[in-house]
Amino acid sequence: MKSKDLNSGVFELLRPNAAGIDIASQMHYVAVPCDRDEQSVRKFGSFTDDLHEMARWLKSCKIDTVAMESTGMYWIQPFLVLEEYGFDVFLVNARHIKNVSGRKSDVKDCQWIQQLHSYGLLNKSFQPEDLTRELRTYVRQRKNLTQGYSTQVQLMQKAFDQMNIKLHNVIADITGKSGLLMIEAILQGERDPHVLAELADSRIKASKEDIVKSLRGIWRQDNLFELKQAYEIYQVYRDKIVDCDKQIESVLKEIADKANNVNNADNTSRDNNRRKANGKNKFNFNASSYLKDISGVDLTEIFGISELTVAEIVSEIGTDMSKWPTEKHFTSWLNLAPNTRTSGGKRLKSKPMKKKNKAGQAFLIAASSLKANNNWLGEFYRRIKAKNGSPVAIKATARKLAIIFYKMLKDKVDFNPLPLEEYNQYFKERKLKYINKQAVNYGFKLVPVDFVS
C-alpha cells in the first residue's frame, strides 16, 4: 500500500473554518486558511480597538472557531471579545502543543495552531459561564484579602515579640474580641498591664495573673509604630472583605434566582436559617441557602466542606458537571488523580503534576481538616497516613471528597455517609482475607481463636 493511501485516512479536516492565534502581551498573530484572504496571517495589537478589528476580520474570513494558547493573563480579553462576536473559542493548554520542532517564529506558531485546530487535534480547556466567572473573580479577590490580613496579624505578633509582650501565648487569637480591645487600648497610650488585663473576656482560659505577666514588656516607640501600622492595615483588609462579601452575595443571589426560575421553584422557600460556617474567615452573610438553591443539594453536609469551600469550588467549576463525563475525568482535572504511567507493561514511578488547580486546592485544604475527625473519611485519612505519610493521605482523602462532591452535584443526591463501624468492619475483613491468602501461600491456615477474658 502506498504511503499516500495510508496518510489519506489519518487526518480528516474537521473544522474547515478554523483560525489560530498566537497570544502575546503587545501583538497577537492570527492565521486563517490560505483561501480566505490574500494575507492569511495578520498581526493585531492588544488594545481593545485592535481586538474588535481582529474579530471583524475573522468574521469577514467566514471563521467559525478560533484556537489560542492560555498564555499568562493575555488571553482573557481576546477570549471575551471573540466570544462576544459569536466565535467558538478554544482555549488550549500550551503544554499540549509546545516543543514542536520547525517553528521558530510567532507567525509559524499561529499557523501551526490553526492547522492542529482544523484537524481537531486540540482540546478545549474548561471555562465557566459568565456569571460563574464573575463570582470566581470576587471569591479569588476575597482569598487574596484574607491572605493579606493574615500577614498583618503576623506583623502585629512580631511587634509584640520585639517588645517582649507575650499576649499571643495566653490568648489563642489576638484578633479576637479581647485581643483587639487590648491592642486598641495600647495604641491609645495605656501601658498598665492590670488595666489591659481587665479587657480580657471571662471565657479566656488563662488566669488574670498570666495575662498580666504577658502584658509586661519593653514599650519601644518604633515597635509601637509597627503595631499601629499593621493594625490599621488589618482593619482596611477587614473592611474590604466586607465589601467583597456584598458583591459575592449579589452574584450568588442572581445565580440562585436563575436556578430557581429554571427549576420552577419558589424563591420565598429559601432557608435562611440553615448554615454551616465556622472560623473567622466565614462570609458576613448566610451563603448556605444560596448555595443549596444553586446546586440543588446541601454540599455543606460533606465532612470537612464548609460554605466557604463550596463557594470557592462552585466559583471555579460552576454546577454543570456534564463537562466531565465521569468522576475520574473530574479528579484528573482537579489534579487529584495519581499520575500513573505505564510502559512495556510495567508501571513507572509516578511524579506529582506541577500544575495547581484552585478547586483541587480547596479539596486538599478540606481534606487536611479531617485528620482528627471521628468519621469514615477521618479513619481513611489516618489509615493512608500510617502507610504512605501525610501528603499522600491528604491527596487521597481530597480525591474521595471530590468524588462525593461530583456525585452529589451531578445526580442531585443527598450526602449519605458510611457508618464508621461498617467502614472499619469492611477493612478488617479485607485485611483478614489478605493475611489468610499469605498464610496459604506459605502452607499455613488461619484458625480463629476465642479469647476468654
Distances (CA, A) of 178 to 168, 185, 202, 391: 11, 11, 9, 36
Distance CA 63, CA 85 (A): 11
| 13-118 fold | Nucleotidyltransferase; domain 5 (3.30.420)
State the alpha helices, DSSP H only, in 341-453: 358-368, 376-388, 390-411, 420-441
Distances (CA, A) of 5 to 2, 8, 11, 237: 5, 5, 12, 67
User: DSSP string spanning 12-58?
Assistant: ----TTEEEEE--SSEEEEE--TTS-SS-EEEEESSHHHHHHHHHHH
| Global pTM value | 0.83
| pLDDT of the residue at 432 | 87
Distance CA 44, CA 31 (A): 11
In sequence order, which residues have a C-beta less than 8 Å from that of residue 280 and are 6 or more positions away? 173, 175
Distance CA 36, CA 237 (A): 53
Per-state percent for the chain, helix, strand, coil, to nearest 5: 55, 5, 40
**Which residues share a beta bridge with 92?**
69
Distance CA 373, CA 158 (A): 33
* Per-10-residue mean pLDDT, the chain, length 453: 47 88 91 91 93 95 91 87 93 72 64 89 85 93 93 94 90 88 93 91 87 91 95 95 95 90 54 64 89 92 93 93 92 86 69 78 94 91 92 94 95 90 87 87 82 55
| pLDDT of the residue at 107 | 66
Give the chain's largest Cα–Cα span. Answer: 97
Distance CA 372, CA 378 (A): 6
| pLDDT of the residue at 126 | 84
Grid cell locating 420: 464508621
SS3 state at 172: coil
